[in-house]
Structure 1
Amino acid sequence: MRKFSLDALARELLRRAADSPNGRAAETVYGGHEHVLRQTVIALTAGNRLAEHHSPGEATLFVLRGRVRLGAGEVRWDGMHGDLLVIPPQRHTLDALEDSAVVLTVGKPQRESHADE
């Protein structure tokens, strides 16, 4: 079993984001390419954004700190500490309205096994 302090990680990533030229920092706390589930803490300083990008599949954002705005096309959803935002299955952006940290959770479809039976 592993245990993480997401609050401590959010503080550390916000410090790193403040020192970064693009105002962001991230660290995957669980999963990766070999797993179906991936959870990544992302920190953005106020006024910075993740530019429009494709949806990673089924995904949510849990706001640990600050306020963010998730946008897809003409639709916008604001989230603050404690909110869970469902990421739409289309291109979207994420803006930090304040210094913010979120947990991005992505569930990728499993590849079918083609092993002989």
Structure 2
Amino acid sequence: MTLHHVPDLVEAHLAAARAASSQRSSATLSHQGELRQTLIALAAGAALHEHAAPRAAILHVLQGTARLVVGEDGVELPSGTLTDVPHRRHGLQAVTDVAVVLTVLAD
């Protein structure tokens, strides 16, 4: 069993994202069989550009505000928001410094 103190991880990865040339930082929190959880931190203005959707995914915004973009549509996701990720190509933009947990059913 692995225990994570999420607030400490969020602060550490947001600091790393602010300092990184890519403006992002991430860590796998759990990988059990097909289930994977990843903490992703993005500095304000950074983005995960459009990419293919996994079989199933849930995004939970822990801190800050993100914008989930699917095609021409986008929705702002403030802290505390939990949403499924559509089964279409999508991207994620950091409106503010943001930390999310992405839970996926990996291939």
Partners of 2:22 and 2:2 in 1: CA distance: 31
Rounded Cα–Cα distance in structure 2 between residues aligned with 1:84 and 1:25 = 20
Aligned pair count? 107
Percent identity over the alignment?
A: 39
Tell me if 1:28 matches 2:28: yes
Post-superposition shift, 1:2?
2.1
Return the alpha-carbon distance in structure 2 between the equivalents of residues 62 and 87 of structure 1. 10
Structure 1 stretches lacking a partner, 5+ long: 110-117
The structure carrying a bigger strand percent of its residues is 2
The answer to whether residue 107 in structure 2 is matched with residue 101 in structure 1 is no
Larger radius of gyration: 1
Partner of 2:62: 64
CA distance in 2 between partners of 1:76 and 1:85 (Å): 13
Could you say what the CA RMSD is over the residues aligned between the two structures, in angstroms?
A: 1.2
Q: Structure 2 unaligned runs (5+)? A: none
Superposed structure 1 runs of 4+ greater than 2 Å apart: none
Q: TM-score, normalised by structure 2?
A: 0.95
Instruction: Tell me what 1:51 maps to.
Output: 49
Matched with 1:115 is none
Cα-to-partner distance string for 1:78-99 (whole Å, 9 max, x where unaligned): 1111100211101101000000
1:66-105 aligned at under 5 Å gives the runs 66-105=64-103
The Cα shift of 1:108 comes to 2.9
